Amino acid sequence: MRPDLTLTGTSGLLQALLESPAPDPRISEIGRVSEVADGVAIVTGLARALSDEVLEFASGVQGVVFDLEPNRLGVVLLGPSERVCPGEDVRRTNRVASVPVGPALLGRVVDALGRPRDELGPLDAAPLRPVEAEAPAIRHRRAVARPLATGLKAVDAAVPVGLGQRELIVGDRQTGKTSIAVDAILNQRETGVHCIYCAIGQRGDAVAKVIGAIRDGGMMERTVIVAAGDEDPPGLAYVAPYAAMSIAESFAAKGHDVLVVLDDLTHHAHAYRELSLLLRRPPGREAFPGDIFYVHARLLERAGQFSEGHGSITALPVVETQAENLSAYIPTNLISITDGQIYLSPRLVRRNQFPAVDLGVSVSRVGGKAQSRAFREVAGNLRVTLSQFEELEEFARFGTRLDDTTRARLARGAAVRAALRQPERDPIPANEQLAVLLGAMEGVLDNMDDARAVRAMQAVRQSVAEDDHGLAESIAKDEALSDAQRAAVLTAARRAIDEAEAGDDPDA
């Protein structure tokens, strides 16, 4: 290349740069950390920062602005507070906390900010969505009318859950709350419902068991795991359920039905209380801040059955009680927000009744609107039968001489209670549930011990799997059972039980 051409080109470029307009000045605000506590920081020098804005510390840790006060900001850290030192620089990012959303998250395990935790590499082309969003207005909602099958007889028959409903799972420790939620996820294999499991403040081994169960059940490909463990900062535990709801909203906006499990909101409330007390917010009842109700209300109001073209978000929040105290602050708040509750009783756990659903306290405020007519006909008297049986059972313990009618009612109640037993990780199709419940309510399982009842129910399920006499079609079409169907199912159930017992009898 000739030198004169090179000089000419260079001088022309310099001349063009000199003649071009100067770029607009860019203001960069830099603040300083004045205090650091466990999970929070006090920042000064950022007078223009906004509420919920993400700040970036010089150490690489991010934080969210929680408190706006004159000359100081209360910031919740989204990383380890040990890395933040007083005096280090803090910069604004001019954006709110966001999480990646979309199909790229299916089958992945991420933290509250959408960062992968499963060692499967980065997320591919996942757009960002703010973790905070306004709940849809009433005009964008529809009534809850479609059932969400959980695969659990005690729930689908007596406490039905509908697509778009918010059904609280409440109970003491070790009563099976997480197990019910996981079984509900596993039962969506054939329904096309997308699932999101949000672990808040859970131990790492407990989350690993849930992930293993979902993977073994074949639902990992349509499930997103959002994990904020007990070893993570409380800021991540606070953000996690909002992030999970944003991921659900991205699927619902494309017409999908989504099931969101929030396990559990007790830890979420404790994390928010910890952050609020560290930021010197005024404490209220049980030291929780006064806006704890709003914290959970604005989260759960984002669930619902949405208008045409959009799907639904069904929320199963979990809350833990202590010593069966349903009147505690957080449980009563959530009971008033949600559309019903599934209460798991330690008393039933001690009786080896799993799932330990107490039908006397559990309720679905959507009720039969989200239940097929076939289920309503068969299980309509389920609560009454069980309540009368438990009352008679208590009376019979006094050794009173009983007449034949009372003995028959006790036998029927014991059979119905046995029919509601179900092992973990064994969600049952709706037609098989209906056949087992019909047999129990009509006396097919009367006067059987636990072992015989288990074999009998398995035989009934097997007979229905081979020929359900149109039960699945009736449930799908929301039709009532005909007398011919009832008779055929009961006849097939009795025959299957007789064949099963004959096969187990060595003298047969």
Task: Quote the CA–CA distance of 225 and 141 in Å, as a whole number.
Answer: 27
Cβ distance 89 to 44 under 8 Å? no
Instruction: Please tell me the distance from the alpha carbon of residue 81 to that of residue 264, in angstroms, as a whole number.
Output: 24
Q: Taking the model in full, what pTM does it have?
A: 0.91
Across 150-163, average pLDDT: 95
Q: Please tell me the predicted confidence (pLDDT) of residue 394.
A: 85
Q: Do domains 30-95 and 377-504 have the same CATH topology?
A: no
Distances (CA, A) of 340 to 81, 305, 350: 39, 16, 25
Alpha helix stretches (DSSP H) within 133-216: 153-158, 177-186, 204-216
Q: Would you place residue 419 in the very low, low, confident or very high pLDDT band (cuts 50, 70, 90)?
A: very high
**Residue-level pLDDT at 15:** 79
Quick one: pLDDT at residue 507? 55
Where does the pLDDT of residue 500 fall: very low under 50, low under 70, confident under 90, or very high at 90 and above? confident
Residue 146: name the closest of 342, 372, 429 by CA.
372
**Rounded Cα distance, 242 and 132, in Å:** 6
Distance, CA of 355 to CA of 381 (rounded, Å): 20
Question: Among all chains, which residue has been given the structure tokens 């933040």?
Answer: 84
Q: How confident is the model at residue 381 (pLDDT cuts 50, 70, 90)?
A: confident
CATH no. of 377-504: 1.20.150.20
Q: Where are the domains of the chain?
A: 30-95, 100-119+126-370, 377-504
Rg (CA), the chain: 29
Mean pLDDT of all residues in the chain? 91
* Beta carbons within 8 Å of 462's beta carbon, 6+ residues apart: 496
Distance CA 14, CA 205 (A): 63
DSSP 8-state assignment for residue 274: H
The pair of three-digit structure tokens given for residue 157, joined into one six-digit string: 């028959």
Enzyme catalytic residues: 365
Fold for the domain defined by 100-119+126-370: Rossmann fold (3.40.50)
Nearest to 303 by CA among 236, 342, 251, 369: 251
Q: Which of 90-94, 181-185, 340-344, 397-401 has the lowest mean pLDDT?
A: 397-401
Residues 266-325: tens digit of each pLDDT = 999 999 999 999 999 999 999 999 999 999 999 999 999 999 889 999 999 999 999 999
Mean pLDDT of 411-437: 93
Nearest to 249 by CA among 379, 370, 133, 91: 133
- Rounded to an integer, the average pLDDT of 397-422 is 87
What is the structure's pLDDT at 3? 46
Fold of 30-95: Elongation Factor Tu (Ef-tu); domain 3 (2.40.30)
Q: How confident is the model at residue 506 (pLDDT cuts 50, 70, 90)?
A: low
pLDDT for the residue 1? 42
